[in-house]
Structure 1
Amino acid sequence: MKRILSIQSSVTYGFVGNSVATPVLTSMGIHPLAVNTVMLAAHPGYGIFAGQATPADHIAAILNGLVTLDIIPDIDAVISGYLGHADQIAHIASLISNWRAAGASGTYICDLVLGDADTLYIDQSLADRMIDQLLPLADIITPNQFELTYLSGMPVAGSDSAIKAGQHLLASQARLTAVIATGITNDDDLVHDILITRSVHKSWQHKKRLAGISGSGDLFTSLLAGGLVQGVPLSDATARASHLAQAVIARSPNPKELALLENLDLFRTTS
């Protein structure tokens, strides 16, 4: 069975971070190895903050435990998403380095969760250290429109500028093989998910909703990682993740939550 190490947030109620990745990957027949960077009652969209970031020494102990258990060589891909504190980053970076030193050829997908809607919603120090220490290790990143602007230092106002910003990041990061920009808006009634590599770019369009749904980016990244470890080529895995994520979004009447559990059958039929 394929294994994906997923280092993200977790909530007791609802679906973001590992609370998305765990059921999605399991439904795809993949073993999720979940490390929770934050443990909350619910995501902040509910207007509460009940819980806390996982202490960095706890993260270190768990990741070092995986090394001791000799599980690292058997991990097929790694995802990192929302982080709770800048002190967690060095331990995650060390794990990625150990994983590669063990001969891993899998993909590290770094979802640099920084903000949305023109707003940085994590501490500046956390954002800076993620960019300094994790971005250079990434094979693929999956920024939204705001994050792509922030990472590239270039204004992103639509597909053309998103492609230019993605190409700029590829030129500045030697290891990076793909930037997948999600939720890019143009002067139309659509949102665009765009795969940008050094040689090609492809786009998939979907009808725009009035508002986004928390966890939709985590769903996209989980589906992408799952497809890649199943041997699906990058372009096809991106297309599948884009269409399946949008299918779940379209079936989600509550703007605060993905209708995830009701739609896990969508992922089982694509494995």
Structure 2
Amino acid sequence: MKNVLSIQSHVVFGHAGNSAAVFPMRRLGVNVWPLNTVQFSNHTQYGHWSGSAIDAEQMEELVEGIGAIGVLPRCDAVLSGYLGAPEQAQAVIDIVRAVKAANPQARYFCDPVMGSVNDNGNGCKVEPGIQEFLVRHMPEVADALMPNHSELQRLVGREIETAEEAVDACRELLQRGPKLVLVKHLLDRNSPADTFNMLVVSEREAWLGQRPLYHFARQPVGVGDITSAIFVARLMNGDALRPAFEHTLAAVNAVVKTTYDAGRYELEIVAAQDQIARPREWFDAWAFDMA
């Protein structure tokens, strides 16, 4: 069984960060070691929350504690997501280096959460300085980057309007170090308005996938977190790139559809757990020419 050190936020109520990612990975047969970057009452899009970030020094101390009992060599991957302070971003890099020193085969998957604001003025809020750190440093450190559309634009410093432009942007990022880039939500002006696009690009492959777009009155939070988690779990379980990507697309669709059909705001992860493992609907990806 593979072991993933998941460094993300934690909410007491609801599903975001580790509170969204840990259960799907475990349901897929991956052992997860959660390291929470923040402890919040709920996610920030409610407009009110309480809690705080843990110290970056404490994050490193916790990993040192894992090393002290001799299990750090068993860590197969690090997944990082929401960070509560810029100092935590440097701590993540130090932790990744410690894990790779203990297990040179370990991989680092970076979900570069940079924050966003929606049309209603709400959104995922991150502290100043985090975005700049992620853009400047993480592509050189990560084995895989998993941005959404907005984050991909910030990583390459330009607007992206089509899937072809997104593939070019991913290729540009690959030149900085990562082995693959998963775009968890791709906005493509040429796609039908009722589709949700995802893209994954490696040195030799590029796959585009689409699932239905569900028109929530209030979009649920945590979809990106479960997307990254399921993709990492499938890769850790030995899937090649395309089947890992297609399983991720189908499993996330199952969670989102279950949530939509139930009329819920928080993701119905537990209710959809069987489909996380064995999705009933499947969406075939198609390849871009990488010549």
- TM-score normalised over the length of structure 2: 0.86
Structure 1 residues 124 and 47: CA distance shift in structure 2, 3 A: closer
8 Å CA contact retained: 2:75, 2:103: no
Q: CA deviation at 1:117?
A: 5.6
Matches of 2:240 and 2:146 in 1, distance apart?
A: 17
Would you identify which runs of 4 or more consecutive aligned residues in structure 1 move more than 4 Å? Answer: 117-120
Matches of 1:138 and 1:255 in 2, distance apart?
A: 34
Matches of 2:264 and 2:104 in 1, distance apart?
A: 39
Which residue is equivalent to 2:179? 177
Q: CA deviation at 1:58?
A: 1.8
Which residue is equivalent to 1:65? 65
Unpaired runs of at least 5, structure 1: none
8 Å CA contact retained: 1:182, 1:194: yes
Which residue is equivalent to 2:132? 128
Q: CA deviation at 1:148?
A: 0.5
Which residue is equivalent to 1:192? 197
Structure 2 residue 176 is the aligned partner of structure 1 residue 167: no
How large is the RMSD of aligned CA atoms in angstroms? 1.9
Q: CA deviation at 1:51?
A: 0.7
Matches of 1:152 and 1:263 in 2, distance apart?
A: 35
Query: CA offsets per residue over residues 31-89 of structure 1, 9 Å max, x none?
Result: 11000001111101112121111122221211211121222110111100000011112
Matches of 1:116 and 1:164 in 2, distance apart?
A: 23
1:266 is matched by which residue type in structure 2?
A: Q
Which residue is equivalent to 2:244? 237
Matches of 1:196 and 1:116 in 2, distance apart?
A: 24
Which residue is equivalent to 2:53? 53
Q: CA deviation at 1:213?
A: 2.2
8 Å CA contact retained: 2:252, 2:276: no
Structure 1 residues 120 and 250: CA distance shift in structure 2, 3 A: closer
8 Å CA contact retained: 1:115, 1:146: no
Q: CA deviation at 1:13?
A: 0.5
8 Å CA contact retained: 1:6, 1:78: yes
In the TM superposition, 1:9-158 aligns within 5 A as 9-116=9-116, 121-158=125-162
1:209 is matched by which residue type in structure 2?
A: Y
Structure 2 residue 269 is the aligned partner of structure 1 residue 265: no
Matches of 2:71 and 2:104 in 1, distance apart?
A: 11
% identical equivalent positions? 25
8 Å CA contact retained: 1:10, 1:16: yes
Give the match's secondary structure for 2:271: helix
In the TM superposition, 1:247-266 aligns within 5 A as 247-253=254-260, 254=263, 256-266=265-275
Q: CA deviation at 1:5?
A: 0.5
Matches of 1:213 and 1:32 in 2, distance apart?
A: 24
How many residues of Structure 1 are paired with residues of Structure 2 in the alignment? 268
Q: CA deviation at 1:255?
A: 5.9
Give the match's secondary structure for 2:130: helix
Unpaired runs of at least 5, structure 2: 280-291
Matches of 2:244 and 2:3 in 1, distance apart?
A: 17
- TM-score normalised over the length of structure 1: 0.92
Structure 1 residues 221 and 120: CA distance shift in structure 2, 3 A: closer
Give the match's secondary structure for 1:38: strand
8 Å CA contact retained: 2:156, 2:173: yes
- Bigger shift: 127-136 or 65-74? 127-136
8 Å CA contact retained: 2:44, 2:124: no
8 Å CA contact retained: 2:11, 2:42: yes
8 Å CA contact retained: 2:254, 2:276: no
Give the match's secondary structure for 2:186: strand
- Bigger shift: 126-135 or 43-52? 126-135
